[in-house]
């Protein structure tokens, strides 16, 4: 089991870097969706501390919820928004692809160092979990600040949420299902609202370039 879990974590980090490297929006959306679907496996793979029947139901619910929201609904909504708003497909980076990959790799290294410095209250934890979570959060933040397209910025936000989700799986032993469901629903609603705003941006500016959103400044 630990072997497969480790593989999932490595795959998540590889997908992070792949999003940074992708020059096509549709491809990037699909990569983030795939990452979300892979993450949905985690609640099933990680050993639950007290595996009662109640826990099993909880874990399966979390996995299914994450798969539906992160793997299907959100990417579906974003692809729909791209089609409806007739968005051009290029990513248009502010920071080039190679520099962003270098920064991404540096972030991954920093995440591993930082996690090594923190003691783990729960020793049965998989050693790759915390660094994977932090790497994904870092990649997401990097994507938001280094891409012009509004859609790419939303992808960055989704990566951040994916990273936080990885960490949240760690807590599913005692995290109430209500809170987990609330977090997923919030994410869905946030992406929906962002999709609507993207639609308006496209209508207003005839482009999704956030570089044009620079009239407000001091």
Partner 1 sequence: MLLLALLPLVLAPLALAALALAVPRARWRPRLLLVGAGLHAAAVAALWALRPGPTLSGWLALDAAGLLTLSTASAVFLASAVYVQGYLATHPERDDRVFVGSLLALLAAMTGAALAQNLGLLWVIIELTTLATAPLIYFRHDALSLEATWKYLMVCSLGIALALLGTFFLAFSSAGPGGPQTLLLPDLIAAGDRLSRPWVRAAFAFLLAGYGTKMGLAPFHAWKPDAYGEAPGVLGALLAGGVTNIAFLALVRATSVCQAAGEGPFARSALLGVGLLSMGVAAVFMVGQRDFKRLLAYSSVEHMGILALGVGLGGAAAAGAFFHMVNNGLTKGVLFLTAGNIHRAYGTKDTDRVRGAARRLPLSGPLFLLGFLAVTGSPPFAPFFSEFAILSGALGGGRWLVAAAYLALLALIFVTMGSTVLRIVQGEPRQPAEPGFGDVATTAGPPLLLLLAVLALGLWVPRGLLDLFDAAAALVRG
* End-to-end Cα separation, the chain, in angstroms: 55
Among 2, 197, 206, 211, binds partner 1 (CB under 8 A): 197
Q: Which is nearer to partner 1, 3 or 174 (CB)?
A: 174
Binding of partner 1 by 174 (CB under 8 A):
yes
Per DSSP, the three-state class of 175 is coil
In the complex, minimum distance from the CB of residue 19 to partner 1, in angstroms, rounded to a whole number: 16
Burial label, 174 (beta-carbon count in 10 A; 0-12, 13-18, 19+): exposed
Provide the minimum distance between the beta carbon of 150 and partner 1 in the complex, in angstroms, as a whole number: 7
Contact call for residues 104 and 138 (beta carbons, < 8 A): yes
Query: Is 141 buried (19+), middle (13-18) or exposed (0-12) by CB count in 10 A?
Result: middle
Task: Select the residue interacting with partner 1 from 56, 64, 98, 189 (CB under 8 A).
Answer: 189
Q: Is 79 in the site for partner 1 (CB under 8 A)?
A: no
Asked if 137 touches partner 1 (CB under 8 A), the answer is yes
Q: Decide if residue 93 touches partner 1 (CB under 8 A).
A: no
Residue 205 sits in the site that holds partner 1 (CB under 8 A) = yes
Distances in Å between the Cα of 203 and the Cα atoms of 78, 86, 155, 158, 198 are 16, 10, 21, 24, 9
Restricted to residues 144-163, the positions that interact with partner 1 (CB under 8 A) are 144, 150, 153, 156-157, 160-161, 163
DSSP 8-state symbol, 147:
B
Give the C-alpha separation, 36 to 176, whole Å.
Answer: 21
Helices 129-146 and 97-117 sit at what angle, rounded to 10 degrees? 150
* Among positions 122, 148, 209, 211, the unique one binding partner 1 when judged by CB under 8 A: 122
Number of residues that bind partner 1 (CB under 8 A): 46
Exactly one of 71, 104, 107, 168 binds partner 1 (CB under 8 A); which one? 168
Question: What residues contact residue 73 under an 8 Å CB cut-off, 6+ apart?
Answer: 188
Q: How far apart are CB 76 and partner 1 at their closest, in Å?
A: 19
- C-beta of 38 vs 194, nearer to partner 1: 194
If one asks whether residue 62 binds partner 1 (CB under 8 A), the answer comes out as: no
User: Which residues are paired to 209 by β-bridges?
Assistant: 149
Tell me which residues touch partner 1 (CB under 8 A).
117-119, 121-122, 133, 137, 141, 144, 150, 153, 156-157, 160-161, 163-164, 167-168, 170-171, 173-176, 178-179, 182-183, 185-186, 189-190, 193-194, 197, 200-201, 204-205, 210, 213-216, 218
């Amino acid at each position: 089991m630990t072997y497969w879990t480790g593989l999932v974590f490595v795959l998540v980090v590889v997908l992070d870097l792949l999003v940074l490297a992708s020059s096509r929006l549709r491809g990037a959306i699909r990569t983030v969706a795939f990452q979300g679907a892979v993450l949905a496996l985690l609640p099933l793979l990680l050993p639950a501390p007290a595996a009662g029947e109640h826990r099993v139901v909880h874990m399966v619910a979390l996995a299914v919820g994450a798969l539906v929201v992160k793997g299907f609904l959100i990417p579906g909504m974003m692809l729909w928004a791209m089609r409806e708003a007739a968005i051009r497909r290029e990513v248009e980076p502010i920071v080039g692809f190679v520099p962003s990959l270098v920064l991404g790799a540096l972030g991954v290294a920093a995440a591993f160092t930082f996690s090594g410095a923190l003691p783990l209250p729960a020793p049965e934890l998989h050693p790759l979990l915390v660094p994977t979570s932090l790497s994904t959060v870092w990649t997401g933040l990097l994507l938001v600040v280094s891409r012009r397209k509004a859609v790419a910025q939303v992808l960055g936000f989704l990566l951040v949420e994916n990273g936080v989700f990885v960490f949240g799986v760690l807590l599913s032993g005692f995290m109430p299902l209500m809170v987990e469901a609330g977090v997923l629903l919030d994410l869905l609603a946030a992406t929906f609202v962002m999709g609507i705003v993207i639609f308006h941006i496209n209508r207003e500016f005839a482009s999704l370039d956030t570089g044009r959103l620079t009239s407000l400044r001091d």
